[in-house]
Structure 1
Amino acid sequence: MKALLIIDVQNGMFLKGYEVFNGENLIHNIKTLISKARSTHTPIFYVQHNEGEGEPLETGTIGWEIHPEIAPEEGDVVIQKTTPDSFFKTPLDEELKKRGIEHLIITGIQTDLCVDTTCRRAVSEGYKITLVSDAHSTWPSEELTAQQIINHHNGTLRWFGNVLGTEGTGFSVPKKGLI
Structure 2
Amino acid sequence: MSVTLIDSDLLIGELQLGKSPAVIAVDFSNGFADKKSPLGGDFEPQLEANLKLIEAATASNVPIFFSTVVYDNEQQASVFRQRLPALNILQRGSHWVNIHDKFSPYVNRDNIIEKNYPSAFFATTLASKLATLNVDSLIITGLTTSGCVRATCVDGLQHNFLCAVITEACGDRNQSAHAMSLHDMHAKYAQVLPLSQIMEYFKSL
TM-score normalized by the length of structure 1: 0.86
Match among 10, 24, 30 for residue 11 of structure 1? 30
1:171 corresponds to which residue? Answer: 202
Q: For 1:17 and 1:93, locate their aligned partners in 2 and report how far apart those are by CA, in whole Å.
A: 29
- Tell whether 2:66 aligns with 1:32: no
Q: What is aligned with 1:66?
A: 99
Q: Which residue number in structure 1 is paired with residue 189 of structure 2?
A: 160
Structure 1 stretch 75-84 or stretch 48-57: which is displaced more? 48-57
SS of the residue 1:42 aligns to: coil
The amino acid across from 1:165 in the alignment is P
Partner of 2:169: 135
Structure 1: gaps of 5 or more residues: 140-145, 175-179
Query: How well do the aligned residues superpose, as a CA RMSD in angstroms?
Result: 2.0
Note if contact 1:7-1:115 (Cα within 8 Å) is conserved in structure 2. Answer: yes
Alignment identity in percent?
Answer: 24
Q: Give secondary structure in 2 for the equivalent of 1:55.
A: helix
Measured against aligned partners, the alpha-carbon deviations of 1:64-98 in whole angstroms (never above 9, x if no partner) come to 10001012345861111111121111110000000
Q: Give the direction of change, closer, same or farther, for the CA distance of 1:19–1:75 in structure 2 (3 Å limit).
A: closer
Deviates more, 1:52-61 or 1:7-16: 52-61
**Which structure has more helix as a fraction of its residues?**
2
Any stretches of 5+ residues in structure 2 without a counterpart?
1-19, 74-86
Question: Aligned partners of 2:130, 2:24: CA distance in 1, in Å?
Answer: 10
Kindly name which structure, 1 or 2, has the bigger radius of gyration based on alpha carbons.
2
- The separation in 2 between residues aligned to 1:64 and 1:75, in whole angstroms, is 14
Aligned pair count reads: 168
- CA shift for structure 1 position 30: 0.5
